[in-house]
Structure 1
Amino acid sequence: MLFTLFIGSILLVACSSKDSKESKGNSEVTEITYWQYTFPTKVEQIDKIIADFEKENPDIKVVAQDFPYDQYQNKIFAAVEAGDRPDILNIYNGWISKYVDMDYIQPIREEFMSKEEISDYYVDMIQPYELDGEFYTLPVAVRSLALFWNKDMYKEAGLDPESPPKTWEELIENAKAMTEMTDDGRYKKEGFGWNAAGQGLHEFQQVLLRQYGVEPYSEDASKVLWNEKQEGYDAFKYWLDMTMVHKIGDPDVGNTYREAFLAGIAGMIVDGSFAVGDIQNASFDWGVTTLPVLEEGGLQSNYASYWTNAIAKGVEGKKLEASERFLAYLIQEDVQKDWLENVGELPASKALIADEELVNDPTYGPFIEGLDYAHATFFVNEDKERQIIIDGVDKIRLEDADYDETFDEIVTKIQEVRDEFFNKQ
């Protein structure tokens, strides 16, 4: 409530500023730039938000640019090197600590939004990214994971299309029933879109590890604890066995796990709420449910993440004021509601995420429930850490490397990445 009033006051000041400047002509217009990666529904929504914002704030012009995901960070790095960085960057939460370390972004000013206001307004999962007593970014939305299943493939395999798996063993058995192979051992259809490059790595480190009783990281996130006890090795083997032993899915089916699902050749996938925008147009009947557990009544766990907005280091004066006014507009609850409807990501506001209609929604309800027990991985260098896992998994898949030795190598390499970061602090 307090922050709703706060946002209102920011926008009220913006309106009065607008009224006083309208008579001064376009010479008073402040132009700011907003960068994001290319995700069509997000790009369309940001364009709409900017148009609405500029109508209410004619003294500010927001120029949005988007870049393909695989080029996005390199574009940012090059712009910084050239001294031509954008004013506002939309970045993944796993990049925050790296961007702070590289001095790319500045803290949210207390005069704009205090740490207490941020904590009161937002869901708890953003708390790990309070770095050295400062918040650096403000998200519009958050994401968790859930299990999508193809009801038509369930029917074809003789399974109950209204009974998705509750445990991982049920998932494996259901997936086996839906998997079809060619005579030479290639997948025609996979029962489960197993992967390491997409949501699979989060499924392992924040879901399976925890369900096996392993805390993935130390409390300060500086130590990787995956192999501190035998259960970590067991969780890793269980995850890999889905593709290596049970052969219920493979990363190469259908280009990506989501594309395989949309093509009707993957029976189930673990994905985020952001996938709903694509999946809702699928040509088959589908459903969403919460992630499986190891056994009935066992520990539930989930992975949470978000894309978030930061003001670049060095932005000051009128550009800083304009950037803060745009962020204040961007994180309003009405904007978050529209974002859910058009993009499919969950509101980041504590109040909105508790809305009864949303909690009971058959599509978004499982994602909302997942947030209750979700964990946001504190990445120090998300790209490097992700690639280490992918490379290790491929070593096992493609070179028949030893599970335990490879797992130890993965942990050692990720620990080295974290040591490099934390030793600078």
Structure 2
Amino acid sequence: MVRLDGIGSSTNRRRFLQAAGTAGIAGIAGCGNLVTAGNDDGISYWTLFGGGDGSTMKSIVDSINDETDLDVNRQRVPPDEYYNRLYTALAAGEVPDVAILRSERLREYEDYVVPMTDDIDSSVYADAIMEKVLVDDELLGVPLDAHPYGLWWNKDVFEEAGLDPEDPPNTPEKLRNVCQTITENTDYIGGHIHGDSILAAMFQMFVRSMGRPLLTEDNEPGFDNEDGVAVARYLDEIINERGWVPQDGTAGWEAWNNGEAGFLIDGTWHLSVVREIGFDFGLTTPAVMPDAEKHMTNASSHTLIIPYDESRTDARREKTIKFIRELTQNHAVKWGTDAGHLPASKAALESDDLRNSDAWSKSVGTFYEMSQNGQFAYEPRTDSNTEYLDVIWQRIQSVRLNDVDPETGVKQAADGIRGVFD
């Protein structure tokens, strides 16, 4: 339910004050300049997309403006500033008409958005995606896509190392062989797994593959056990013991982009990057956790929300709803073919334009199969997602850097999570 005071629970009030403190008074005032709609009839739309995603989104919005009377004013906020800016805009009461929100943050924002349950037909979106974005059966954010992680491999490096470039490294045994062969037969690294904040996504992916939840329903750590330790040990083995993946995340990323790494675990968005790199590549499921119960991949969805604004007229709200339908339904194919994401729209997923595209054969089709096989693991939604995920990646990063052993890192992560939710 939307809180008419725009403040919500005491937890979220505190989070708003923290965000405002981070950005400062000048930051809050600056939101007024950022959220201009262009004119009284236009729609202001905040995104955080850059690179290939950003250019694709710009093209889609330009097309919507050409084909309709909506007059959408797209404003891009840098990703590292986006959520602080959105918080402070809400606190200042100067919000955009539409904003992008990742699905795992919907619980945090539920007091500040306008439900669209009665405005948007949820049946037009893929069930595997829609069931992950509903909050207590309320449609608070309309899904644009799913963006899971996959395992990308460099076929040129495989061939140089004497491996079959068409044989995907989609089992633990295959990946071990790939890494060992590449490091023995070439000067390249086995592959790259992102560190820092993205390491929480990797950890969750492997924990879920072991059949454990990242968090229980009571927000207790679901990995404070032998399976969580097994995940940390696996990361420690391939990084510190074997040296197949570098400790330094920047070095690994640069090696991949220079064509000097065998594999990379990254998301749907990487298609627009790897298309420009210049080497032949493949994409497969990241089914590489040893002794997994069922191989899963970390996933999320970009959703479109309507931030609560008591001054928004019914006519403006109707235009906002129309824009959300246009973006998530009528122009969803382009989000798949050009940006590489898995569209949430059923019609887009079933369209010949998508299924006959280069994107489908290169990556999107594989991500679709993963969705149909129930392999998407969305991060648990709480009122404190940023805090608990920070705890996880910081503690597991300590394992990656060989500062603590796997058992200690897991114990510290579990204790840290308990501290977040106490």
TM-score class, shorter? 0.7 to 0.9
> Do the aligned residues in 1 keep the contact of 2:272 with 2:339 (CA within 8 Å)?
yes
Give the deviation of 1:337 after TM superposition.
0.7
Counterpart contact for 1:146–1:370, Cα < 8 Å: no
Q: CA offset at residue 255 of structure 1?
A: 5.0
* CA deviation profile, 1:90-138 (whole Å, cap 9, x unmatched): 12222221222xx33221151x12xxx3155333233243223312101
CA distance in structure 2 between the aligned counterparts of 1:416 and 1:105, rounded to whole angstroms = 28
- The equivalent of 2:108 in structure 1 is 98
Give the drift of 1:217: 3.3
Uncovered stretches (5+) of structure 1, i.e. residues with no partner: 1-26, 182-186, 421-425
Give, in whole Å, the separation in 1 of the partners of 2:187 and 2:236: 20
2:226 aligned residue: 230
State which of 397, 410, 419 in structure 1 corresponds to 2:413: 410
Cα-to-partner distance string for 1:330-351 (whole Å, 9 max, x where unaligned): 111x411111111111111234
CA deviations on 1:2-38 (whole Å, 9 max, x unpaired) are xxxxxxxxxxxxxxxxxxxxxxxxx996122101114
Q: Residues 274, 123 of structure 1: CA spacing in aligned structure 2 closer, same or farther, 3 A cutoff?
A: farther
The change in CA–CA distance for 1:412 and 1:237 in structure 2 (over 3 A counts) is same
Mean CA deviation greater in 292-301 or 151-160: 292-301
CA offsets per residue over residues 142-183 of structure 1, 9 Å max, x none? Answer: 1222211111111222222222223223212311332389xx
Q: How does 1:70-109 map to 2 (within 5 A)?
A: 70-100=80-110, 103-109=111-117
RMSD in angstroms over aligned alpha carbons?
3.0
Letter in 2 for 1:191: G
Distance 1:179 1:384 in 2: 37
Q: For structure 2, which runs of at least 5 residues remain unmatched after alignment?
A: 1-37
- Pairing 1:324–2:328 present: no
Q: Is the 8 A contact 1:145 1:370 kept in 2?
A: no
Q: 1:387 to 1:28 in 2, by over 3 A?
A: closer
Which residue is equivalent to 2:128? Answer: 124
Question: Could you say if the C-alpha distance between residues 399 and 171 of structure 1 is closer, same or farther in structure 2, counting changes exceeding 3 Å?
Answer: closer
Structure 2 CA distance for partners of 1:320 and 1:260, relative to 1, 3 Å: farther
One of 137, 156, 180 as aligned partner of 1:176: 180
Equivalent residue for 2:331? 335
8 A Cα contact 1:139 1:309, kept in partner: yes
What residue number does 2:355 align with?
Answer: 358
Aligned mate of 1:379, from 364, 378, 381: 381
Q: Which of 207, 210, 220 matches 2:208? A: 210
2:302 aligned with 1:307, yes or no? yes
* Cα separation, 2, equivalents of 1:295 and 1:393: 18
For residue 260 of structure 1, report the CA deviation from its aligned partner: 3.2
Instruction: Tell me how far apart the structure 1 counterparts of residues 290 and 226 of structure 2 sit (CA, whole Å).
Output: 19
Larger Rg belongs to: 1
Of 78, 84, 89, 1:68 maps to 78
Partner residue, 1:50: 61
Query: SS of the residue aligned with 1:312?
Result: coil
Size of the aligned set, in residue pairs, is: 376
Distance (Å, rounded) in 1 between the aligned partners of 2:368 and 2:277? 22
Q: Tell me the distance in 2 between the aligned counterparts of 1:210 and 1:138.
A: 25
Q: Using a 3 Å threshold, how does the CA distance of structure 1 residues 302 and 398 change in structure 2: closer, same or farther?
A: closer
Query: If the length of structure 2 is used for normalisation, what is the TM-score?
Result: 0.80
Q: Which residue of 1 aligns with 2:369?
A: 369
Looking at structure 2, the residues matched to 268 and 97 of structure 1 have their Cα atoms a distance apart, in angstroms, of 34
Structure 2 matches for 1:223-262, cutoff 5 A?
223-227=220-224, 229-255=225-251, 257=253, 259-262=254-257
Kindly tell me: are residues 395 and 42 of structure 1, through their superposed partners in 2, closer, same or farther at Cα, counting changes over 3 Å?
A: closer
1:388 aligned residue: 391
Partner of 2:42: 31
What residue number does 2:264 align with?
A: 269
Aligned to 2:191: 192
**1-structure distance, mates of 2:407, 2:191:** 24
Task: Determine whether 1:283 maps to 2:305.
Answer: no
Aligned-residue offset at 1:265: 2.2
Asked whether the 8 Å contact 1:31–1:63 carries over to 2, the reply is: yes
The question of whether the paired residues in 2 share the 8 Å contact of 1:125 and 1:304 is answered with no
Alignment partner of 2:246: what SS? coil
- 1:152 has 2:156 as partner: yes
Q: 1:151 to 1:133 in 2, by over 3 A?
A: closer
Distance 1:71 1:180 in 2: 42
Matched, 1:345 2:341: yes
Equivalent residues of 2:42, 2:72 under 8 A apart: yes
Tell me if structure 2 keeps the 8 A contact 1:193–1:270.
yes
Change (3 A) 1:161 1:51: closer
Give, in whole Å, the separation in 2 of the partners of 1:307 and 1:144.
11
* Map of 1:201 onto structure 2: 200
Provide the secondary structure at the position in 1 that maps to 2:190: coil
Counterpart residue type for residue 106 of structure 1: V
8 Å contact from structure 1 (residues 37, 66) kept in 2: yes
Distance 1:49 1:194, change over 3 A: closer
**How has the CA–CA distance of structure 1 residues 45 and 397 changed in structure 2, closer, same or farther, with 3 Å as cutoff?**
closer
Between the aligned partners of 1:120 and 1:341, the Cα distance in structure 2 is 19
For residues 56 and 369 of structure 1, what CA distance do their matches in structure 2 show? 33
Aligned residues of 2:333 and 2:349 also touching (Cα < 8 A): no
Deviations 1:292-339 (A, max 9, x none): 24569963322221211100112531321221111111111x411111
Deviation at 1:248, TM superposition (A): 0.7
